[in-house]
Structure 1
C-alpha cells in the first residue's frame, strides 16, 4: 500500500460517453484536472478536460500492446517496469495539489494498476447507450475501417468498467451519463456519500445540445437485442448495477421512430461528407502524382532526344555498326574466328 496525501479523482468510460462533461463538472468544484488540456473543437465545444500527460502515457501502453483507441482487450493491460516508473513520476508531479485527477477513456484498460498505485483514489465510471456512442463516434471520426469496431470497443471498455466496479463498489461511482444529467442532485449526493465530497454543480455548465440523447423505441430495442444480444445484455447489466442509471419515461415504449431515424440520417450524411472529402483529397493527390509523372516522362523523352541528336551518340553508333560489320565479314571468311576487339 502506498501513502496517498491528496484526493485523486479518476474519470473513465468509452469516448463519447460524457467523460469530458463530468471532468468539466469536477473542474468547476475545485478539482484540478490537468495543466495541459486539448483545445475545444467542433466535437467538444467546451473542451475535453484531458490531461495530456496521462493521454500520452496511456497511448504508449496501448501502442506497445499493438492497440489503439478502439481497442478491445479481454484482460487488463500489463505494464513494464519503465511504464510503472513513469506512472509514479506522474503521480509525484501531480500530487502537489490537494485535489486533482484526470479523465481518459483509455484508463479503463489499466484501472487495476492505478488502484494499486493510488489505493484511496475515487473512480467515476461512465457509460452511455451503445447506439448513441456508435452514432457519435461515426460523426467524430473519419472512418476508413469497419465501423462495427465501435461496437466491439464499446463492449470491451464497458466490460472493464463493470468488472472494476463489481470489485470496488465503495470506491467507485457508476453512472449512465443521461441518468446523471437527468438527476444531478443524485450525483451530488452520491459524491458526498461515497467520496465525502460536497459539490454543487452549476446547471449552466451543461448544454443539452452538447450530448445528444436518443430515446430507444421498443422496435429498435428488440432489433438490437436480436442482432447484438451480448451488447444489449451488457448495457442492461450496467443499468441494473449503476449508482445512477437512466430512468426512461413511460412514453419511451411508444416513442415515435422519426427522431431516431432523422438523427441516423444526419449521421450518415456527415459520414458520407467525410468520405467525399477523403475521395476528393485522394483524387487531388492522384492528379498531382499524374502531372508529376508526365513531367518526368517529358524530361526523360527530352533527354533521349538530346542524346540521340548528339555528336557523341552518332559517333558511338558509327563505331558500333563498323564493328558489327567487321565481325560479320570475319565470320563469313573464317568460320569460328574470334571477333576483333572493338
Structure 2
C-alpha cells in the first residue's frame, strides 16, 4: 500500500494544535512522542518532537544572527532567511521521513515552523498533501500577548508582523500547489468540520476514518480555550484604520481559501484622530505594564531572599559574639556603669 502523508501547518496560535487533534482523531498518525501540554495549551500541541526540534534548529541557524526578532520561529525584523542553507539538512530530513514511513501507511506531522519550509518538504515528499490553517490576525496577536512572553511583551507589534510573514508563505505555496493543499480558516472550520472531512476525501483523495462523527470535534474542542475578539472589538476597529495591510492579506487568504473566514471588511471613512488610538495604546500598555510588574515582583523576591540571607548571617554572628569572653566582659562593665550611675 502506498504511504500517504498529510502535513499540517500555519502561524503559531492559529489553531493548528486543535486541527491536528481533529486530524489524529480521523486515524492519521501524527507521531508518538509529542511536545508536552502546558498551561498555554492544556489539550496538547500534537507536535512530533523530532520534527519540531529539527525545524527549530534549521530556522535558528538560517536567521541573521544577532538581529532583533524571534529566531525560534524563524523570524527577525528584516525577515531575512537563508533558504539556501536548507540544502545542508536534506539527508537528516530523508532519514526522518524514512523512519515515519516504516511506522505507518498514513502519517504526517504538525508544526507551525513548517510554514517557512514548505518548499523544502515538498521536494522531499512530492506526493504529500498539505493542510494550511490561518486565523484572524488580531486573534493571533491577542493569544500571543496573553502568553506574556518576554520578547512579545517588549515588542507588542511583533505578533502581527510574524502573522503576516507566515501567512504570506502559506498563500504563496497554496497559489503554486492548490491541487495538493487545503487552506482553511480555523474559525469557520469549527463551525463546519464535516466540510474538512469532505475536502480531505475529495480534493486530496485521502482515505480517513470511516467512523467519523461530527460530535467528535466537540469532544476535542473547548470554546473557552479558543477566543475571538469579534469585529466590533476596539482593537479590530482600530487596526482597520492604522494597519490595513493585515486586512488586505486576510482578504487575499479568504479569496482563495477552501474554507474562508466569514469576516467582511467594512468600508471606513475619515481620518482617525489621536483620542481614537487610545484603545490600542491602552491594550499595548496593559501587556507592557504586566511584564514590568512581573519583573518588579521578581526583583522584590530576589531582594527578599538576599535580605533573609543577611539576617541569618547577622544572627549567626550575633550568637558567636554573645558566646565570646569579650561579650561577657562587655556586659559586666555595662552593669557596673549602670550601678555607678544609680549610686
What TM-score results when the alignment is normalised by the length of structure 2? 0.73
Match of 1:52 among 32, 49, 70: 49
Residue 12 of structure 1 contacts residue 124 of structure 1 at CA under 8 Å; is this kept in 2?
Answer: yes
Match of 1:94 among 93, 100, 123: 100
Paired position in structure 1 for 2:339: none
Instruction: Kindly tell me the number of residue pairs found equivalent between the two proteins.
Output: 287
Q: Does 1:38 align with 2:35?
A: yes
Residue 46 of structure 2 contacts residue 110 of structure 2 at CA under 8 Å; is this kept in 1?
Answer: yes
Q: Does 1:134 align with 2:151?
A: no
Q: Does 1:118 align with 2:125?
A: yes
Structure 2: runs of 5 or more not aligned: 66-70, 269-277, 314-343
- 1:130 CA drift (Å): 0.7
Question: Using the alignment, how far apart are the partners of 1:230 and 1:162 within structure 2?
Answer: 15
**Paired residue secondary structure (1:102):** strand
Structure 1: runs of 5 or more not aligned: 254-260, 297-342
Question: Using the alignment, how far apart are the partners of 1:230 and 1:21 within structure 2?
Answer: 27
Distance 1:80 1:20, change over 3 A: closer
Match of 2:154 among 130, 145, 149: 145
Q: Does 1:64 align with 2:81?
A: no
Q: Does 1:21 align with 2:28?
A: no
Distance 1:64 1:171, change over 3 A: same
Residue 11 of structure 1 contacts residue 102 of structure 1 at CA under 8 Å; is this kept in 2?
Answer: yes
Paired position in structure 1 for 2:333: none
Distance 1:145 1:94, change over 3 A: same
> Alpha carbon RMSD of aligned pairs, Å?
3.5
Match of 2:251 among 232, 236, 241: 236
Q: Does 1:277 align with 2:291?
A: no
Question: Using the alignment, how far apart are the partners of 2:284 and 2:7 within structure 1?
Answer: 31
Greater C-alpha Rg? 1
Residue 165 of structure 1 contacts residue 172 of structure 1 at CA under 8 Å; is this kept in 2?
Answer: yes
- 1:82 CA drift (Å): 4.1
Per mean C-alpha deviation after superposition, the further-off stretch among 106-115 and 143-152 is 143-152
Per mean C-alpha deviation after superposition, the further-off stretch among 136-145 and 275-284 is 275-284
- 1:203 CA drift (Å): 3.0
What TM-score results when the alignment is normalised by the length of structure 1? 0.74
Paired position in structure 1 for 2:196: 187
Distance 1:233 1:80, change over 3 A: closer
